[in-house]
Amino acid sequence: PGRLVCVGLGMMLGAHIGPRARSHIEQSDVVFVAVSDPVVELWLQQMHPDVRSLQPHYAEGKLRHQTYRGMVNDMLAEVRAGKTVCGAFYGHPGVFAKAPHDAIAQARREGFDAHMEPGVSAEDCLYADLGIDPGRVGCAHYEASQFMFYRRRLDPSAYLVLWQVGIAGDRTYRRFATGREYRQLLVDRLREDYPLDHPVTVYEAATLPITQPRMETVPLHALPDTPLHMHSTLVVPPCMPLQRDDAMLARIEAVERAEA
Ligand code: SAM
């Protein structure tokens, strides 16, 4: 019977792939691949004779939802034909990625075995390169456009990470970049919670062993004029110390006293 597994390749070519992901790639009947770099596709082709690119589904002007649906349909067609199918995605297949989640859910609805193998995401590289422990003061992650379209309650005593900041504010769901006017609106939203000279870091993990990550820190007000790409992530460090909750601490103390 057909079966689907979506695996993560990690961010850096050849460096982050786990043994389980590798064995699924090698042992499935068909491998579909969605990665931003053609070099990564070539690398996968050395692991399996039938590697099919999902990249042609991306096209400027095409709705992103259609792109994802096309990817899901390609993978599901082979599962329905009785094949064991592997979807290989860069990073973690379940982190800010719609097609792998949708494909697994659809395969299960149709009665097929389907599961996900985690991978090293941009988030994991960010913690390593920038020396951030998300557990120290907490860390919130949002998709940049969603963060602009909806009111969120920000905690400026924690880290804030904004994904897809290069297309922040895009409501067409078709573009590969938005301009400085959109980024200015993002700055306008952030200045409600952070000072305008607060340092923010544009982060781009290295994807080849020979390249270095981009870690460019600029004041918040300079963000509209800072080059951003599809693969940029914005990191906003806290601008205030943790605020003690004296009322809760008093209640805990009361419980402690009752225990003693
Ligand atoms: N599944 C991917 C992962 O595990 O990292 C994320 C895919 S999401 C559709 C694309 C977003 O991931 C980008 O807009 C950016 O925020 C982040 N991203 C992708 N490549 C990156 C890189 N090399 N460095 C930093 N962030 C990256």
Active-site residue among 52, 64, 152, 174?
64
Q: Does the Cβ of 183 fall within 6 Å of ligand 1?
A: no
* Backbone phi and psi for residue 21, each to the nearest 5 degrees, phi listed first: -60, -45
Taking Cα atoms as reference points, which of 132, 111, 49 lies closest to residue 86? 49
Q: Does the Cβ of 28 fall within 6 Å of ligand 1?
A: no
- Could you report the average pLDDT of every consecutive run of 10 residues in the chain (260 residues)? 97 94 97 91 95 88 87 97 97 96 98 98 98 98 97 97 95 84 97 98 96 98 96 98 98 96
Q: Is 189 one of the annotated active-site residues of the chain?
A: no
Contact 165, 233 (CB under 8 A): yes
ipTM of predicted complex: 0.99
Contact 71, 54 (CB under 8 A): yes
Using CA positions, which residue lies closest to atom 8 of ligand 1? 96
Active-site residue among 68, 182, 194, 203?
68
Q: Please count the CA atoms within 13 angstroms of the CA of 144 that sit on its side-chain side.
A: 30
pLDDT at 178: 87
